[in-house]
Amino acid sequence: MTKDSSASQPQSSTPGSQGKDYIVTNRGTNNEGNRWCTRDYGTDSANSNPYHYSNTDGSYYYSNPDGSKYYNDGQGNAKYTPPGK
């Protein structure tokens, strides 16, 4: 797994992020070629470890700052899991 720990500029919001900006704190690519990044939304985030995966099959996954999760299989099917579920 490769890792790039360089800080970045604030990025746009994502599903489940309540429109908050974030800073990418780490990013990399795993052995299967799937890209990932961890995100910092600030101190008022319910989830202390929000992250995003973007997979080679076109699917992607978010673990959001509010504790919710969002998965899209890349084929038009998506699943949202509310916080605490």
| Angle at CA of residue 21, ends 79 and 65, nearest 5° | 45
pLDDT tens figures, 29-75: 999 999 999 988 888 788 888 999 999 999 999 999 888 999 999 99
> Is residue 46 within 8 Å of residue 65, measured between CB atoms?
yes
Residue 23's pLDDT is 86
